[in-house]
Each structure stands twice: as C-alpha cells, then as structure tokens.
C-alpha cells in the first residue's frame, strides 16, 4: 500500500503530498483556481504561511495528472480534536470537477478520522461549496458572525466526523504514514549505502 487513498472513481487517485513536487503541484492548482478569473484573490491570502504549519495536503490526480487539492490543518489535540479543511480547489479547465471534489471529500474524511479528528471547522464563501459540504458530509453553516476579508464575506461551517468513525475506515489508512516513513527511510538507506561504496572506491584509488 502506498500513500494513496481510495477513491470511488477509478480514474482519480488521492494522495497525501509527501514530496516537494507534490506540494508544488498543490500550489499550482490553488493559484489557477483562486488567483485568476473574475475575482482573483491576493497572493498573501492564498499563501498565508500555513502550508507547513501542522498541515497535510491532499493531491488529486486524474489518470496521473494533478487536478485538485485541499489542505488539512489540525487545530488542537487530545479528546475532541478539531481541524480545518481549507483551500479546496480543482483546475478550472478540468471537466468533471464534481467527481474530483467528491473524491477529495471522501479522502479528507478518511484521513481525518485516521488522525482522530472529530470536528471540522472552516470558512466558506461560495454558496455552491456550502451546498457541496452540506450534501456530502452534512456540513452546517453556524450562527457565528461572518468573517469579512478584502471585501469578501466568509461563513463559518461545522462538520461532525463522529458518524464516520468506523473500524474499516481506520484500517484502510493505518499504513499511510508508515509507508511514507518507510519509503523515505529506504531511500536514505540506499543513499548511505551508495556513499559508502563511493568512499571505498576513493580509498582504493588513493
């Protein structure tokens, strides 16, 4: 098993970003989605300094090509762990965006449950995304005052993940981070072995 998460669409794979190349792909998708079009967001809003702060990035690929992404940040720990799902994005040029969004949502639930998260908090501006979260994971718009930033109004959304806590979902994902660690450990061991061989060769030449 790799760091990929099961998707209901065979052409779409969701992976936990584990390389610089994966992160760059996520950032390119977000830039194309949020920093262009009729209401482009400023760079400082889209890249807010939280990409490396207790964050996990999900990268969606269709037939191997990156097409969507989302960021998960854990807000606190212990009992009643909360996280936020942010920066949900799909390439504007990509057809069948709903299938990609559904796959990302499914993966976000699986990964969050695996991490012991019970509650998701987020901010949503687009009414279509509000309806999407309500339909897919019973997201609820709260009565909290909206957040206004750069003239745009964002509503608070709350998602209860406790109904998704089932043993089979946890078993599906228990190997993900172990496999990522094992992969990097294996690569490091190969690099060290290569360095030792090169050192022996230099010693023989000397």
Strand partners, 157: 122, 141
Distance in angstroms (rounded) separating the CA atoms of residues 51 and 23: 9
User: Nearest-CA neighbor of 147 among 167, 172, 124?
Assistant: 124
CA distance 56 to 202: 42
- Residues 71, 57: Cα–Cα separation, whole Å: 5
pLDDT digits (tens, 9 = 90+) for 15-57: 999 899 999 999 999 998 888 767 777 777 777 888 887 899 9
Confidence (pLDDT) at 24? 93
pLDDT score of 172: 46
pLDDT at site 184? 56
Q: State residue 203's pLDDT score.
A: 73
C-alpha R_g of the chain: 20
Low-confidence stretches of the chain (pLDDT beneath 70)? 1-9, 37, 78-79, 166-193, 206
Q: Considering Cα of 98, then 99, then 104, then 109, what sign does the dihedral take?
A: positive
* DSSP letter string, 142-173: -SSPPEEETTEEEEEEEEE-GGG--HHHHHHH
């Amino acid at each position: 098993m790799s760091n990929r998460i099961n998707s209901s669409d065979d052409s779409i794979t969701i992976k936990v970003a584990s390389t610089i190349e994966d992160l760059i792909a996520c950032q390119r998708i977000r830039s194309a989605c949020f920093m262009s079009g009729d209401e482009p967001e400023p760079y400082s809003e889209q890249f807010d300094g939280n990409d490396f702060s207790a964050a996990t990035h999900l990268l969606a690929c269709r037939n191997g090509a990156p097409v969507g992404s989302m960021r998960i940040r854990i807000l606190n720990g212990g009992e009643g762990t909360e996280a936020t799902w942010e920066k949900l994005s799909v390439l504007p040029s990509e057809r069948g965006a709903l299938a990609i969004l559904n796959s990302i949502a499914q993966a976000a639930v699986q990964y969050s449950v695996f991490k012991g998260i019970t509650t998701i908090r987020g901010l949503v501006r687009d009414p279509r995304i509000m309806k999407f979260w309500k339909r897919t994971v019973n997201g609820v718009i709260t009565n909290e005052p909206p957040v206004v930033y750069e003239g745009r109004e964002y509503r608070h959304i709350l998602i209860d993940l406790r109904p998704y806590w089932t043993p089979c979902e946890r078993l599906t994902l228990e190997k993900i981070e172990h496999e990522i660690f094992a992969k990097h450990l294996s690569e490091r061991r190969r690099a060290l072995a290569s360095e030792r061989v090169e050192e022996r060769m230099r010693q023989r030449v000397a």
